[in-house]
A and B are shown apart, each in its own frame.
Chain A
Amino acid sequence: MAEIIQIENLSFRYPDGQIALTGVSLTISQGERVGIIGPNGAGKSTLLLHLNGVLGSNGRVEVFGEPISERNLREVRKRVGLVFQNPDDQLFSPTVFDDVAFGPINLGYGEDAVRQSVARALDWVGMTGYELRLPYHLSLGEKKRVALATVLSMNPEILVLDEPTSDLDPRSKWALIGLLQKMPMTLVIASHDLELVKALCERVIVLDGGRVVADGATEWILADRVLLSAHGLAPAG
Chain B
Amino acid sequence: MKHSFIDQYSDRDSFMHRLDPRSKFLVTWLFILAVTLTPPNRGQVFVFYLALIMVLIFLSGVPILYILRRSLVIVPFVLLVAIFLPFFKGGEAMGSYNLGWGSLTISDYRLQILANLLVKAWLSVLSLILLISTTRLSHLLEGLERLHLPRALVMILSFMYRYIFVLVDEVMRMRQARDSRNFGGKRWWQIQTVGRMVGTLFIRSYERGERVYAAMLTRGFDGHSRTLNKLSFKRADAYFGIGFSLVLALASVLSVLGG
Contact = CB atoms under 8 A, between A and B. Distances in A.
A40 B220 CA distance: 29
Contacts of A52: 218
Contact of B211 (A89, A105, A154): A89
Interface in B165-222: 165-166, 208, 211-212, 214-222
A49 interface: yes
A82 B218 contact: yes
Contacts of B161: 94
Given A94-B137, A105-B226, A136-B162, A86 B219 contact: no
Contact of A106 (B138, B158, B221): B221
A90 B220 CA distance: 13
B219 A103 contact: yes
Given A105-B227, A105-B228, A106-B226, A77 B214 contact: no
A12 interface: no
B220 A106 contact: yes
Contacts of B218: 52, 54, 77, 81-82, 84, 151
Contacts of B211: 84, 86, 89
Given A94-B137, A101-B228, A135 B162 contact: yes
Contacts of B138: 93-95, 98, 132
In this complex, the member of A92, A106, A151 whose beta carbon has the largest number of chain B beta carbons within 10 angstroms is A92
B159 interface: yes
B17 interface: no
B159 A92 contact: yes
Interface residues of A, number: 36
Interface string B217-249: 111111000111100000000000000000000
A88 interface: yes
B216 to A, nearest CB: 7
Q: What secondary structure prevails in chain A residues at the interface with B?
A: helix
A3 B98 CA distance: 91
Contacts of A137: 5
B162 A107 contact: no
A185 to B, nearest CB: 16
User: Size band of the B side of the interface?
Assistant: 20 to 34
B165 to A, nearest CB: 5
Contacts of B229: 111
Contacts of A102: 216, 219, 221
Contact of B228 (A107, A111, A150): A111
Contacts of B110: none
B212 A78 contact: no
Interface string A59-89: 0000000000000001001100110101011
Contacts of B24: none
Given A132-B136, A136-B165, A107 B215 contact: no
Contacts of B216: 92, 102
Contact of B212 (A82, A92, A95, A154): A92
Interface in A33-61: 49, 52, 54
Interface of A: 49, 52, 54, 74, 77-78, 81-82, 84, 86, 88-95, 98, 101-103, 105-107, 111, 114-115, 132, 134-137, 150-151, 154
Given A88-B208, A107-B220, 7 more contacts: A89-B208, A89-B212, A92-B212, A92-B215, A105-B227, A114-B228, A151-B218
15 contacts: A78-B220, A89-B208, A89-B215, A91-B162, A94-B137, A94-B141, A95-B136, A101-B228, A105-B228, A106-B219, A106-B221, A107-B220, A132-B11, A136-B166, A137-B5
Interface of B: 5, 11, 136-138, 141, 158-159, 161-163, 165-166, 208, 211-212, 214-222, 226-229
